[in-house]
Amino acid sequence: MQKKKQTNVMTLVFMLLFLLAFLIIMGRYMYIQMTGEANKVSLTEWANELRETSITLSAERGKIYDNNGMMLAYNRPTYRVYAILDPEYTVNPDEPMHIIDAEKTAEQLSAVINIDKKEIVEKIKSGQKEERFQVEFGKEGKNLPQEVMEKIAEQEIPGINFIEDSMRYYPNGMFASHILGFARNDDKDELIGIAGIENEKDEILGGTDGYIRYKRDKYDKKLLNADEVVKSPENGDDIYLTIDQKIQTLLEDVMSQVDEQYSPKRITAVVMNPKTGEVLAMSNRPSYNPNKPEDIKNWYNDVISTPVEPGSTIKMFTWAAAIEEGVYKGSDTFQSGKYSINPKVETINDHNQGKGWGKIDFDEGFRRSSNVAASKLVWENMGTDEFLEYIKAFDFDEPTNIDLPSEVAGKVLYDWPSEKLRAAFGQGSTVTPIQQMKAATAIVNGGDMMQPYIIDKIIDSNTGKVIEEKSPQIVGTPISESTADQMMDLLDSAVNQDDGTGKPYRLDNYSVIGKTGTAQIPNPEGSGYLPGNENNIFSFLGMAPKENPQILMHVSVTQPELKDDARGSDPVSFIFNNVMENGLHYLNIEPDKDKVIDPIESNEFPSIEGKNTKDIKKQLEESKLEVVFVGDGKKVVAASVEEGIEIFPSQKVIIVTDKATMPNIKGWSERDVLSLASLLELDVEIKGSGFVTNQSIKKDTKIKGNMKLGVTLGSSANKEEKEKEKSKK
């Protein structure tokens, strides 16, 4: 009886527990049904998410232009090929939407893109085995140009589809690469700026993506009542630089020639309008092609990011400080050669191994670039504390704040007497080329120092309205107008008097003024400096014309390989003289010398299209242009230079005749190859850097449409011979 009673109690307990659980479940069910929420998750929203799909509408990245509207960087559409494997994706059996025949698909694809047939078959069959919905084809199946995509699409291969991507493209290759920088896709497949303007103005250029959101079926097809929501993308803004494409091109070409001939460790060059602070051109070697960021050897824009000991170019500011302080008298004399303030401080030597030039005056000391003269001006005439104030007034202790990323200011070493003496002639303390350029504008502008800048304006790409526009800005007045005028005369004497160090920088048509520099390189493995004539940084900071300078330019060449009869000024003057002379011609600046040598009858390229080839050859044979005729046809059909465009001496002009054949392009630059490919409609593939060493299309081969030209860049034969001669020694 007792046992039966216990059984009834247990049964009742279980029934109550069951009832309680039932009530809880039912209550929860009713709650979910009434509120549509489970565990604080909206089931309605969850269901909508399952039914909804979203397509990103990519914003177009803003373009970058030069100061004349020449496009320097833009987004180019590319395509990614993929194959659908899922047979359920096909709705109509007569129109298959998935891969039917792996072998045939592979044969068709491999005929157009550079993927091995076996590799394609393997990817498709492996994906089918793993029951994957789709597969892609790796690196070779991405970044396909539109013409390749269209060739594949024309074959109507079942299951083959494309995704449109966007790739940043720089049409001029290595041109201004350290200014432009580059943009590439990150891990999230978003295009972001990595260096240069692309990085500095990434947010402005990038824009904001939009989207399309709609409801779909299980085949990812839009429903009839799709509740579609569209948010349009906001495209990035366009940026116009102060860079002038013509001057930048001229600078790039001559720097490449010096790089090839002298194999220096480094070259920097910057060209500026000294009246405004606008940078007209800027380049470095080593450089890189922003279309191939994987080949980058030098990330740094050395003009703004690599401070070095400047050498004697700094003396123009030492003399300016002494003049401004009222302690300078050019006719006062001193004993050149060696100078010591006391036995405990190192002796200062003039650059001719301390021999000097006897007793000379301070004006001659400037012309001859005397270290002793500079040291005496600071230590005896001016005072070291006063000189430090001028170093700061010229902003050598801070960055210029140019609108480029990763600027690094130089460092002023000014604690010990030896450091103060050496600062006077450009040793010990460091500066960047852009810091010197900024300081030099004060000498050009009667004491007013200009802010350097490289972005001219920012334009709304949708409306064309100017969002931001820069204008010249005075950022300091370290010296007076009378001091600036006296310095202009001293800079004139350094170039145009026979005892001046700047003689190699004289031009035929224009009066150049400026200051040379030869900076020793600190020994990285110990104290002191590297020995030898080649182990220097050779530089020149100059301007022209003297009475009203329109171009200010700084060039430096580090550790060039010099032949026995060569001077350190040779590679520097080759760059400076070419860019300055032709740049002033291009800007239509009137020559200010009596002797005028105009390199061509007219600086504008004539109309030649459709004209007789012989007549054009005769017309151009007197010019100093490097003219290449493509083929031996009777008529001219195209040229690399348009009618009316300003041209420079030694500029390469490619002229295509109506019987085009492949020229010998060995020794050509990458820019010239790209120009030829554009004229002949060749599909070009370039490997390496430097100048052409091999070409896939042989010389005199008849050119047909859509031919593929493979080009290898590297060291030229001349450079290789030079290396062999060096190894024999």
List, by residue number, the catalytic residues.
312
Q: Are 77 and 166 in contact (CB under 8 A)?
A: yes
Q: What is d(CA 201, CA 450) in angstroms, rounded to the nearest whole number? A: 23
SS3 520: strand
Amino acid at 490: L
Q: Is 138 left (phi over 0), alpha (psi -120 to 50) or beta?
A: left
Q: Are 684 and 707 in contact (CB under 8 A)?
A: no
Q: What is d(CA 56, CA 404) in angstroms, rounded to the nearest whole number? A: 31
| Residues pairing with 229 in the sheet | 213
Closest CA to 64 of 241, 190, 207: 241
Closest CA to 266 of 306, 296, 310: 306
Q: What is d(CA 397, CA 500) in angstroms, rounded to the nearest whole number? A: 29
* DSSP conformation letters of 651-687: -EEEEEESS-B----TT-BHHHHHHHHHHHT-EEEEE
Contacts of 555 (CB under 8 A, 6+ apart): 267, 268, 269, 539, 540, 572, 575, 576
Supply the DSSP symbol for 524. T
Contacts of 35 (CB under 8 A, 6+ apart): none
Q: What is d(CA 561, CA 539) in angstroms, rounded to the nearest whole number? A: 15
Supply the DSSP symbol for 617. H
Q: Are 579 and 250 in contact (CB under 8 A)?
A: yes
Length of the chain, please? 729
CB atoms within 10 A of CB 290: 28
| Residues pairing with 552 in the sheet | 272, 543
Tokens found for residue 726: 């060096």
Q: How far is CA 525 from CA 308, 414, 528, 684, in A?
A: 17, 23, 9, 45
SS3 65: strand
* DSSP conformation letters of 85-122: --GGG-SSTTS--S-S-HHHHHHHHHTTSS--HHHHHH
Tokens found for residue 577: 């003289």
| Burial class for 494, CB neighbours closer than 10 Å (0-12, 13-18, 19+) | buried
To the nearest 5 percent, what fractions of the chain are helix, strand and coil? 35, 25, 40
Q: What is d(CA 282, CA 175) in angstroms, rounded to the nearest whole number? A: 10
| Residues pairing with 433 in the sheet | none
Q: What is d(CA 77, CA 61) in angstroms, rounded to the nearest whole number? A: 12
| Burial class for 29, CB neighbours closer than 10 Å (0-12, 13-18, 19+) | exposed
Q: How far is CA 642 from CA 200, 340, 426, 621, 654, in A?
A: 33, 62, 46, 18, 11
Q: How far is CA 595 from CA 54, 511, 551, in A?
A: 71, 11, 20
Give the largest Cα separation in the chain, rounded.
138
Amino acid at 414: Y
